[in-house]
Structure 1
Amino acid sequence: MLSGCSEIPENNDPILGVWTKTETNSVSEKTTGTTITEEWTFNDVFLGRYEQFSGNTIVISRDFKWEVNNGVYKMYYPQDNNPIFLTMDLPELLTQNGETFAIKK
């Protein structure tokens, strides 16, 4: 019996880890403010998971693929046709078109 094993190259990209964005919906006449937290977890095999929380409840959870080319990160959700383009302005800040997209936890 023959078996083979290919070595997976080590990925030390600074995007690896958990990135968050938190917003509180403004209070309306009918509801109180709700905190919405979005989290993107980037792992070292160019995959990740997006989760959205309303308070402490998970509202959305879906996987994505990512890649980096010349400092520009592309995220691909299987359900969508268009990638999301991001850049890292600081080691702790992801931006999209100059606006804050997420902050590293």
Structure 2
Amino acid sequence: MKKVFSFLTILAIILVSNCSRIEENNDPVIGVWSNANTDTNSTTQKLTTNKQEWIFNDAYLGRYHDLQNGKVIMKTDFRWSQKNGVYTITYPGLPDKPNDTVVIVDNSPDSILLEDPTGNLIALRE
């Protein structure tokens, strides 16, 4: 009787685990996007490199990094959603940071860009 019960339990586990399928998300925003700039301090003539990086994943989540001279000065998770080609990025871990609204602009063959609705560059696809 124990063998029959064990067999039925294993069979039930297999059947239940095969029923849940995760939909594949092939959204074009998935990947790494970044924006880097360099500033020179006028008094010390020191060069400072600032970089912002967004890593979008297929579960409508991601990770945001703010780097200065290659060192992470801030990082947080974010959520993203897409409606009619407009992406909204929310930062639940940073209540002071406003949501970003962006669109993908294909600037082929040079690059693919994320721009805000007014056309300002937010990030480039890496």
Structures share fold, TM-score greater than 0.5: yes
Cα distance in 2 between the residues matched to 1:20 and 1:56: 13
Deviating beyond 6 angstroms after TM superposition, the runs of 4 or more aligned structure 1 residues are none
Aligned length, in residue pairs: 105
Q: CA deviation at 1:90?
A: 1.2
Q: CA deviation at 1:72?
A: 0.2
- Structure 1 residue corresponding to 2:78, chosen from 64, 69, 83: 64
- Deviation per CA, 1:44-86, whole angstroms, max 9, x where unpaired? 0000000011112111110000010100000010033742110
Aligned positions of 1:1-105 closer than 5 A: 4-5=16-17, 6-30=20-44, 32-78=46-92, 79-80=94-95, 82-90=98-106, 92-96=112-116, 97-105=118-126
Q: Give the residue type in structure 2 aligned to 1:34.
A: T
Identity %: 34
- Structure with bigger RCO (C-alpha 8 Å, 6+ apart): 1
Cα distance in 1 between the residues matched to 2:42 and 2:76: 30
Single out whichever of 42-51 and 19-28 deviates more from structure 2. 19-28
Q: CA deviation at 1:27?
A: 2.2
The structure carrying a bigger strand percent of its residues is 1
**Alignment TM-score, normalising by the size of structure 2:** 0.75
The structure carrying a bigger helix percent of its residues is 2
Larger Rg: 2
Q: What is the alpha-carbon root mean square deviation over aligned residues?
A: 1.8
**Alignment TM-score, normalising by the size of structure 1:** 0.89
Q: CA deviation at 1:31?
A: 5.2
